[in-house]
Structure formats: C-alpha cells, structure tokens
Amino acid sequence: MADLSEIRAAKAAHTAALMDRPNVVGVGIGRQIVNNVQTDELCLSVLVADKIAIEGLAPEALVPSQLGSVPTDVVQIGTIRANQVPTDKFRPAPGGVSIGHYQISAGTLGCIVRDRATGDRLILSNNHVLANSNDAVAGDPIIQPGGADGGTVANDLIARLERFCTIDFGTDTGSDCGIASAYAGFGNAIAGLLGSRHRVTVLQANPQAVNLVDAAVARPINDDDVLDEILNIGEVSGTVEGVLGLPIRKSGRTTGFTTGTITTIEATVSVNYGAGRVATFENQLVAGPMSEGGDSGSLIVAADSQQAVGLLFAGSTQSTIFSPIQAVLDCLNVEI
C-alpha cells in the first residue's frame, strides 16, 4: 500500500501527462473506491468528465491502473465550469441551479426526466419547490432563478407546474417513544432545505399520515431552455439503490457540488413545513452534511457512476435527507 508521500510524488511526476489525456479534468489524492465502497487505500484520483468503458477508449486515453507502486482510481465528476453561480439565470438551464414556484423563495432544479406515457421532457424537483407544498395548481408559473435570487414571472418564466405527489400532512409529532432515541444522533432537529421553518423531528409510532416522497415535475415553456445535464456532474443515466456506505454527490442551488456517504437507510422522519403542517416520511436515506437551505430538489447521484440515487428534500448542519429515486419516479410516472 502506497503512503501519502509516495502518492504526492506520483502526483507531481504524472499530473501533466494525465491532464493531457482526453476527458481528464483533474488529478488529486483520494481513497480508492471498490464496488461503490470507499476503502482505506490511498490512491491517485484521476478526475474525468465522463467515465467510459475501457473498450471505448483509444490507447492514448487510457489511465494506467498503477503508476509505479501507486494505484490510480478514475472518478467521474462531470465537466468543470468556471464562474457559474447556481443562483444566476441559465438558458438553457441545467440541473443544480436555482428554480421555484413563483410564490416560494428558491430551491434546486434536480434534473430533466421523461414522462413515461409521452416521452416529454419535464423538470424534476420537490413538491415544496415547484408546487408550494400542495398549495399550487397545475399550470402555475415556475421561474429560474427562483424569487429569492431575483427571478420574476415577467422575465424568468421557464416552465409551468405539470403535476406533483401530494404531501399528506399529519399532526402527531410526539417524541416520547423508542424511535426518538434512535434519531437523537442526527443532531439539531433536521432542518428542511427551503428555509429554517422546515425541520425534521422524531415521530411517534403509528403516524396518522405517511409519505414516501416530496416531489413534483414542471413542463418547460420551451424545450430548448433546459439541459439534460446537471451542473458539475453531467448527464445522468439510470438509477441505483441507495445502500449503506454508498459514496454520493449532488449539485445544488446553495452549496453547489458536494459529496457524502449514505449513513442510514429505511429512515422514518417527520418534517415541519410551517403553519402547523407536519409530514411523516418513511423509507428515507440519510447522508452526512452536504447541503443547506435552498438545496431542496437536488438530485443525489452515485459518486462513481452517472446513476441517480435519490431526491434531496431536507437536512441539517449534520445530515442530509433524500428519498429513493425509484419511489420518486414511480410516484410521478417518469423516467430518467
């Protein structure tokens, strides 16, 4: 196993040659990922815009699996762009940028999905981002950037609300049962990502209402105004189940590109949407701190592939909460 000094020496010796290879966008030091699990072995991480099968690469584009005694690991991170602020206006707009129903502050455009019935391209984000927490109707204006970032219906209309998964709000928010202690480790009651009013607390057993997703889709006014790719990640293809230890990444309106690891699966959480409305969610996924307010709607993507894992909708300074992507797609009748 190579030590840090050996890897630093290899980086200094080989970075220029590696950066000359097509598709390579960076070189750094990381830990090797094997079968979607991060190991303890240090390596030279070769960052690429797109991870391409070996048989599809020209000989001069191949990255050696070893550079002397130092192992390499090819990591797909998408195309790196300079001076692009997710709160700006984008046309065409990729995933990872500011968007919102005209009556809310701002959330994140997750990605482009396709209607299972028609094949039409639709914008994916949260219900509370595109449908104002159930208070919207189909056809309502969606603006990019969102209102908190200066967007207006007159100048920044990008889509109209198509449909959403209704959030079923319950009222039982007690925490005097065994579940409470299990979730105490989350730290800070888990705040929702669209302002400080959104908080996750522990719910008692047998909640009155149970949800699986906070999700909605909007129909672009002009198909050319949206991109299939996500800012700093690229185009997503297919899905993968979120399992314990899976390295993940996202691109969001507030914190941009961040990474993390799934720490908890099959979680039951309760989210306060303000005005006395509380919703319980089951079978959720939890990662470490990789999001802040306004990142709601971000697509969670596997770190070592372009496969979608989940749809982010809540979190705190210590954790991020997201719904399994298949549940999102099934509820909205769409595909990635």
Return the CATH number at 43: 3.30.300
pLDDT in tens, 86-117: 899 999 999 999 999 999 999 999 999 999 99
The answer on pLDDT for 226 being more than 90 is yes
Pair (120, 29) in one structural domain:
no
Q: How far apart are CA 228 and CA 335, in angstroms?
A: 12
The answer on pLDDT for 193 being more than 70 is no
What pLDDT band is residue 78 in, cutting at 50, 70 and 90? low
Pair (329, 181) in one structural domain:
yes
Order of strands across the sheet that contains 24-34: 24-34, 37-48, 70-76, 66-67
What pLDDT band is residue 72 in, cutting at 50, 70 and 90? very high
What pLDDT, on a 0 to 100 scale, did the predictor assign at position 62?
84
Q: Looking at residues 48-55, what average pLDDT do you find?
A: 79
CB 273 within 8 A of CB 253: no
22 in a structural domain: yes
195 in a structural domain: yes
| First-to-last C-alpha distance (Å) of the chain | 39
Q: Looking at residues 33-49, what average pLDDT do you find?
A: 85
Q: How far apart are CA 238 and CA 215, in angstroms?
A: 18
261 in a structural domain: yes
Pair (71, 173) in one structural domain:
no
The answer on pLDDT for 267 being more than 90 is no
What pLDDT, on a 0 to 100 scale, did the predictor assign at position 53?
79
What pLDDT, on a 0 to 100 scale, did the predictor assign at position 282?
85
Last residue of a domain, one of 46, 76, 106: 76
245 in a structural domain: yes
Q: Which domain holds residue 277?
A: 93-335
For residue 149, what is the DSSP state?
G
Last residue of a domain, one of 12, 47, 76: 76
Q: Which of 70-84, 127-141, 172-186, 258-272 has the lowest mean pLDDT?
A: 172-186
What pLDDT band is residue 277 in, cutting at 50, 70 and 90? confident
Q: Which residues pair with 218 in a beta bridge?
A: 123, 161
Residue 124: C-alpha distances to residues 87, 167, 199 (Å): 17, 16, 22
Q: Global pTM?
A: 0.68
Question: Pick the residue with more confidence: 298 or 61?
Answer: 298
Q: Which residues pair with 71 in a beta bridge?
A: 66
Pair (125, 69) in one structural domain:
no
Q: Looking at residues 315-321, what average pLDDT do you find?
A: 76
Number of H helices, E strands in the chain: 5, 25
Q: Is the peptide bond before 92 cis (omega within 30 degrees of 0)?
A: yes
The answer on pLDDT for 184 being more than 60 is no
85 in a structural domain: no
